[in-house]
Amino acid sequence: MRARRLIAAASVAALAVLSLAACGRSAPDVAAYVGDATWSTERVDAIYDDVQADFGEAVRQELGRTGVSPSPEQLRSTVTRQDVLNLLVSLELGKRVVAEKNLQVADNVSATQLESVLRVPATTEYTRLWSEWIDILEALNQQLPPAELSDDSVMAVYHAIAETGAIDSGLSVAEVRQAFGDGGFVRSATAVSVALQEEAERADVSVNPRFRSLGVPSFVSGPQGPIVYALPYVDEDGPVTDISTPEPPQSSEPAEPVDPNDPAGVTEPVRN
């Protein structure tokens, strides 16, 4: 078996898409509803455009110092509108879980610390929202009881990471369990996902069908640095592909505290 060394940081769940037609929530200019909160497609576009503008300017300045003219591809960040909506919905659900469970959230991570992780300038709203999300995520990881470890939850985490190319695909359950050690970070991820799933149901989450299944933002520290990814929703019994919707979805031990000098954090390695 060949598995690249990988340190899992903040693995969490993804939330399936709910039809906007449910409960009369069908405004085409609304990207998502979470309870009484809404985000317009215009707001998603504005955050996305902000990322692209600041990223492109940063690349121009960096390459300009070397006399190199950047290509159009180099001027475009890999952040997508889907990434923006993932972050907005996850942040709202996380805040609700923290409030409901009366959890303590420390202000540890700044946008500046995440700039190199996200490869997005700290000046963007996207990076600032990420810094707020990481603080909430760490509170959930540390203060929620870890979930039981199942083959389905282990493999859901594995497949999400494998999609990024950070670990070999095609491994068996036994090989992945060996690679993940005692699976502490999977237990934490599953516990967080269950809490967010329950809150999503209470808040009656609905998402515009122009977006695919929502993934809660996370990242892992790999050999070449942190890797941003979204883990498909996992509960204690296995992957979840729907959240109490009458219509088909449209077409996607607790963690250690975050080190302020290393916002990716460290839990446990994937061993060869």
Instruction: For the beta carbon of residue 86, count every other beta carbon within 10 angstroms.
Output: 25
The pLDDT, as a whole number, for residue 24 is 58
The pLDDT, as a whole number, for residue 233 is 54
Average pLDDT of the residues of the chain:
78
Return the residue matching tokens 């707001």. Answer: 43
* Residue scoring higher pLDDT (37 or 242): 37
Residue 259 has pLDDT above 70, yes or no: no
Alpha-carbon span 236 to 245, nearest angstrom? 20
191-237: per-residue pLDDT in tens?
A: 888 888 889 889 988 889 888 777 778 776 666 778 777 776 554 44
* Residue scoring higher pLDDT (107 or 19): 107
| pTM, entire model | 0.76
Q: Are 227 and 5 in contact (CB under 8 A)?
A: no
- Which phi and psi angles does 58 have, rounded to 5°? -65, -40
